[in-house]
Amino acid sequence: MKVAILLENLFDEREFIYPYYRLQEEGYETVALAPKRGTYRGKSGFEVKADAAIGEVVGDDFVGLVIPGGYAPDRLRRYPEVLEFVRKMDEAGKPIAAICHAGWVLISARIVKGRRMTGFFAIKDDLINAGAEYVDEPVVVDGNLITSRHPGDLKVWMKEYIKHLPKGS
């Protein structure tokens, strides 16, 4: 079973690397999806090659979606095809894990209104203005949406997220 992880420049290295390998350990195939094929650089310069462009895949092929933070979310939200992918995954009720600044993507995908969630404190106002109920907790679950604040929450974020995925192989 495949889990999509969104990729753009300036991703936070920890927030990409940890779920990428953690979900593999749990038996899932992790697929790095970017707006275009090619290699992307994290905030510190760590490079990751996209497995596919987001326009080349369909949500039906994935059982879940992970959105790392850093400044990658500011890039990702500029692409209608990214937002459509996120919205469709949410409509299908598939587990979405978002951390740190990833809330920006959720805001532009128009899926935060009325939802209980967290995120990096710098984007608290953006989340509230978009209609979210913002709480300052390490991990917050609202249906299929699992959100955390920063890299210090990685351990509880993934532990919770894995519970919501269909059982890996």
Residues in contact with a copy of itself by the rule CB under 8 A: 13-14, 17-18, 21-22, 24-25, 42, 44-47, 151, 154-156, 158-159
Q: Which of 14, 101, 115, 164 is catalytic?
A: 101
Count CA atoms closer than 13 A to 67's CA, side-chain side.
34
Quickly count: other Cβ atoms within 10 Å of residue 76's Cβ: 29
Is 150 an active-site residue?
A: no
In the complex, what is the shortest distance from the CB of residue 94 to a copy of itself, in angstroms, rounded to a whole number?
A: 22
Strands (E), 94-156: 96-99, 116-117, 133-134, 139-142, 145-148
- Note whether 59 and 76 are within 8 A (CB): no
Both tokens assigned to 106: 């959720």
Both tokens assigned to 52: 């596919």
Question: Which residue from 152, 150, 156, 145 is spatially nearest to 66, judged by alpha carbons?
Answer: 145
Question: Which residue from 136, 13, 128 is spatially nearest to 72, judged by alpha carbons?
Answer: 13
In the complex, what is the shortest distance from the CB of residue 130 to a copy of itself, in angstroms, rounded to a whole number?
A: 29
Q: Which of 34, 96, 100, 109 is catalytic?
A: 100
In the complex, what is the shortest distance from the CB of residue 24 to a copy of itself, in angstroms, rounded to a whole number?
A: 4
Is 100 an active-site residue?
A: yes
- Closer CB to a copy of itself, residue 13 or residue 126? 13
Look up tokens 């039906």; give the residue. 60
- Closer CB to a copy of itself, residue 59 or residue 68? 68
- Closer CB to a copy of itself, residue 114 or residue 169? 169
In the complex, what is the shortest distance from the CB of residue 48 to a copy of itself, in angstroms, rounded to a whole number?
A: 10
- Closer CB to a copy of itself, residue 23 or residue 96? 23
Active site residues: 100-101
